[in-house]
Structure 1
Amino acid sequence: MKMSGLLSRRTNDLAGVVGTVRQIKPGSPVPRRLGTKDIAVLDLNRAPAEIARALVESEVAAVVHTPRDEEGMLPRAAFRILAESTIPVIEDADLSDVADGTRVRIDDGVVYSVKSQGEIASGREVDSATLLTEVDTAESGYVESALAHLANATEFLSLEHPLLLDGEGLPSIDVDFTDRHVVVVTGDESSRAQLAEIKPFIREYRPLLVGVGTGAEFLRSVRLTADLVVATPTDVSDEVLTDGAVLVVPADRDGRAEGLEKITELGLGATTFPAAANARDMALLLAYHGGAEMIVVTGDDRGLENAFRSSSAPSSTMVDTAVSSRLIHAAACATLYRSRGAGLGLALVVLAALVAVVVVVLARDAAQDLLIWAVETWNSFALWVQGLLR
């Protein structure tokens, strides 16, 4: 769709749409003051229909689609809603790192800084017909990917159902998961930030820590020692291997495992785990069939946006289903602790107020009944805080 003159915002007679960047992060509400002088920057693959409708109602100057790296279009309703509007849609222009509030000019898909007039990013403007065609193609591709993924997942189930259902074939290792909380840290880049967010959970519950591949390196980088490492030895450093963790090396179903020479050179012992699963799935199965009470896993979420990508292992679909009764994603765990943190902050404010009251009462030698009230209030407060910490 060619940018119309009615939507143009010219600066020094330069062509194109001029507006203020408004970054809309996945899961966040639409900014309240969006208008005709704003350019919405968001990942439409993760934008619900209500977000797109709000953008259309606000008559924003343009929408810039910023998907995750190397990710194609998903058949979301947001694309169809925008295609039916007159709002210009720009693809392939990466503005994800452009600060909110930055003034930019967009002309024929190229984004310029209003301040410096320099080019920030280059993309392409798509018209309604092209956008609708792309969504139709994405829908077909998405369904085909899902069918192929589920076919592979079913094949994995046919091979490994004894392992999934009953833990048959699990190696015997010197780690007691019984009734323990477990944190499985994967090698996904998102694990770094998630690990920092669940630090309060780790401090409180002292869970068993499992490093999967380079996830063991992430643990070590924040001065946490893994109790179990599930990894190909050549994928991790000597320091990780010699930290004292129990080592499990993934192997093919026929028993072949890579990197065992490194284990021998370091004079260490390791256990192989023959299965058609990947290292992440092996770690989850070890914890689940070992009797773990709860398993927190870091890494990319496996929602429908990510489930059928080429990088998503079909084995993980079945393994996550098998352990679902005890599995929680690190992002959800972090949300719980942020909520608790807010409650504890309020508790501290109340505590300070009660201490002030008691000090005043004692200093002025007030009536005995007022002092009794303060003590009773303190007891109630203490019980409340105990409830927060359970």
Structure 2
Amino acid sequence: MTPLRRRDSAAPEAEVTGTLRLESSVRVLLRRLRPGDIAVIDVMDLDSRTAEEIVSSRPAAVVNAQRTLSGRYPAGGAAVLVSAGIPVVDDAGNAVMALMDGTRATLGDDGVLRAGDRELASGTLLTPDSVGEALVSAEEGLRVQLTAFAADAVDRVEREAPMLLESKGLPEVEVDLKDRQVVIVAPGYQHRARLKSLRPYLREHRPVIIAVSDAADAVLEGAYPAAIVVGDVEGVSERALTKTTSIVLHDPTGGDAGSSRLDTLGLAHAKVESTLGSTDVAILMAHAAGAASIVTIGVPADLTSLLESSAHDHVAGAAGTFLARLQAGDRLIDGEALAVLYRHRYPWWVVGALLFSAVLALGVAFWITPGGRPWLEDVWQTVGGWIGVA
């Protein structure tokens, strides 16, 4: 391969050593990635969600065969990795994917990957400054991506109009959603943190939770079991599956989506046939069932997030999510906005207990204060005389 050497003056000065882990699929790589490994990926415009999953595996560094932030649109993955302090070598070339998996290698502060004295690959070492500049430049690429996004939306309407407009093909579930508050949790960027920020709301209102695919485990960890799980359940733990009430299998590619696994576990399930994403199906289900409100967590809510989602899921895309959000209309509430606006209302018994404690503390203070005890006795005799107990 032809090395590409570009040194950034703001690049980290320390080198890191780790075991190379290579996979063409990041999802497969994440199953094998261990703390201290050097992750080798082949992804153009890494999205925030995937980057967050990589960060959770705590690799020593990331080497990308392609450009982590190409400039087509402001993909957030590069910023997530760099902000987490993980060295990222960008644009290392296709030959890096041919390296031997399991090789011990060292990444220097010059962006060169070496095994001993042998140079394996070379690229641009990203820094906070370089990523920030690239994000600003990438704003100009939004127009082209928006055009493609709009074309995909038109195509989705033509293919999925019965489900989008008339709710045809949506399954009936055992959970009654009519006039209920519903929370949909999808495995999106920072969905665990955003779910945690809504704990006061979840405790007080006890909404029906619909988890999309492996977000079911995040729901079980952060709140209480999801009432409904929608999507591919291959990555969902058995504990989360057995605690849910209804399971709706869905795979936009028409795959198994975990059906054989559920049959083995003896768990009943419904199935949806649609090229829309599982998150879109969940939103449409809640809307069609008459939910009073639909709070979304981990679901794209702005243009950049939608474009990132399209890049992450080449099959379903995000145009369907955009259309599903339009269909849900004013019933849809973004979870991040709700966390900012929500004010916890304390139960009456908490307010009563606080008031009693305050009165008790004030009484004790008067009782031990010189002159306070006789005054309290006079007050008690006067009040007792009014009610006939003195």
Please give the range of the TM-score, normalised by the shorter of the 2 chains: 0.5 to 0.7
Deviation string for 1:349-381 (max 9, x for gaps)? 88866665566678553697xx99xxxxxxxxx
Partner residue, 1:317: 322
User: Matched residues in 2 for 1:172 and 1:216: separation?
Assistant: 20
1:1-390 matched pairs, under 5 angstroms: 70-73=68-71, 96-97=83-84, 122-123=125-126, 138-222=138-222, 224-252=224-252, 257-299=256-298, 301-309=300-308, 310-311=311-312, 313-337=318-342, 339-340=343-344, 356=361, 364=373, 365=375
User: Matched residues in 2 for 1:222 and 1:92: separation?
Assistant: 26
Higher RCO (CA-CA < 8 Å; seq separation 6+): 2
User: Matched residues in 2 for 1:93 and 1:202: separation?
Assistant: 28
Change (3 A) 1:168 1:335: same
Partner residue, 1:379: none
User: Matched residues in 2 for 1:179 and 1:303: separation?
Assistant: 27
The amino acid of 1:315's aligned partner reads G
User: Matched residues in 2 for 1:125 and 1:259: separation?
Assistant: 40
Cα distance, 1:206 vs. partner?
0.9
Cα distance, 1:318 vs. partner?
0.6
The amino acid of 2:175's aligned partner reads V
Cα distance, 1:183 vs. partner?
1.3
| Preserved contact between residue 285 and residue 319 of structure 1 (Cα < 8 Å) | yes
**What 5-or-longer segments of structure 2 have no aligned partner?**
1-8, 11-66, 86-108, 111-123, 384-390
| Preserved contact between residue 167 and residue 285 of structure 1 (Cα < 8 Å) | yes
Cα distance, 1:203 vs. partner?
0.7
Change (3 A) 1:125 1:316: closer
Deviation string for 1:154-191 (max 9, x for gaps)? 21122222322332221122111011111111122511
User: Matched residues in 1 for 2:80 and 2:166: separation?
Assistant: 49
Local SS of the residue matching 1:184: strand
**What 5-or-longer segments of structure 1 have no aligned partner?**
1-15, 18-68, 77-90, 99-108, 111-120, 373-390
The amino acid of 1:297's aligned partner reads T
User: Matched residues in 1 for 2:259 and 2:73: separation?
Assistant: 44
| Preserved contact between residue 251 and residue 272 of structure 1 (Cα < 8 Å) | no
Local SS of the residue matching 1:285: helix
Cα distance, 1:243 vs. partner?
2.1
Change (3 A) 1:272 1:139: same
With normalisation by structure 1, the TM-score equals 0.56
Local SS of the residue matching 2:307: coil
Partner residue, 2:41: none
Deviation string for 1:71-110 (max 9, x for gaps)? 455889xxxxxxxxxxxxxx98976246xxxxxxxxxx98
Cα distance, 1:221 vs. partner?
2.4
Cα distance, 1:241 vs. partner?
2.3
Percent sequence identity over matched residues?
26
The amino acid of 1:217's aligned partner reads D
Deviation string for 1:307-366 (max 9, x for gaps)? 2232352111111111131111221222234x4489x99999888666655666785536
With normalisation by structure 2, the TM-score equals 0.56
User: Matched residues in 2 for 1:313 and 1:261: separation?
Assistant: 28
User: Matched residues in 2 for 1:297 and 1:122: separation?
Assistant: 36
Change (3 A) 1:346 1:74: farther
Q: When the two structures are aligned, how many residues end up with a matched partner? A: 267
